[in-house]
A and B are shown apart, each in its own frame.
Chain A
Amino acid sequence: MAERPEDLNLPNAVITRIIKEALPDGVNISKEARSAISRAASVFVLYATSCANNFAMKGKRKTLNASDVLSAMEEMEFQRFITPLKEALEAYRREQKGKKEASEQKKKDKDKKPDSEEPDKSRGEDNDDEDDRLEEEEQNEEEEVDN
């Protein structure tokens, strides 16, 4: 599938903000400098993906996972990123766990509803909603990207 050129670029506003936060206050960033860094970031994603994919293939897996990305950083000699990335991963996992528990709690609450006499029946009726939610949860762990 053909991607339009702008699809491989990252949004200017976000890139600019990240740069501004990294530099001292009051420093001007020329448009060309911002554009250069933005392009560099896209190239970085490609390079990191390719590198991570090599690790996945070594492990005979078709899906890129977190450890592949971390190994790629090591390979690319960006070790300085590894600790903050691991922290981000932990935070993300805690968040996902929290969401899962919240949705499971909701399910329990629904089952407590006095609408139907048979608990099994009510679960069946609610299944459509729950399936959507569960499907989303599963996607969190392993995403099959549709081409």
Chain B
Amino acid sequence: MAAQAAATTFNGNLKKALAGLRRINLEGLRWRVFDAKGQVLGRLASQISTVIQGKDKPTYAPNRDDGDMCIVINAKDVCVTGRKLTDKVYYWHTGYVGHLKERSLKDQMAKDPTEVIRKAVLRMLPRNKLRDDRDRKLRIFADSEHPFGDRPLEPYMMPPRKVREMRPRVRRALIRAQKKAEEQEQGGCQRKGRKREAKTEVAA
């Protein structure tokens, strides 16, 4: 296939990326590309889920699945706010008594960063019979390579966002961290000159 020949640069799970493509009929769908670099996880997932459901088209019908194919790249560069990198925990139960397993966001990103976005989007879709088909339309890649280069791709522009200003405690912590970084830099370059006076200045 031309797709597979052109995608030899894509080292990754080619089989997984192209899995189930034959099951999706109606190739009048668009292929939208989402760049997850620097995007906040939940807000990105919300936009992806509207596109996947086909809710940005005037021909939306709730009983049939007419969403566009979504490709997400740079999944490992997706951001979260607050302390979620360590504190957000994914739980699942295996079915055996007492076997509630957990894994934090950090470990999940180390293990498989695509699962983070996939879980986020899947949990935003309505729980009905179309959910599995919609899952099949979503292709996520950890870096910026993907084997769909020869399709007519359209990049998706995220809507502009109002970032609220920092809470005072967080802002103070940020300022303190910046000052500390400056002090370390100054202390580092003046240690070569071995000037104790400079150190006392910095400490004051």
Chains A and B come from one and the same complex: no
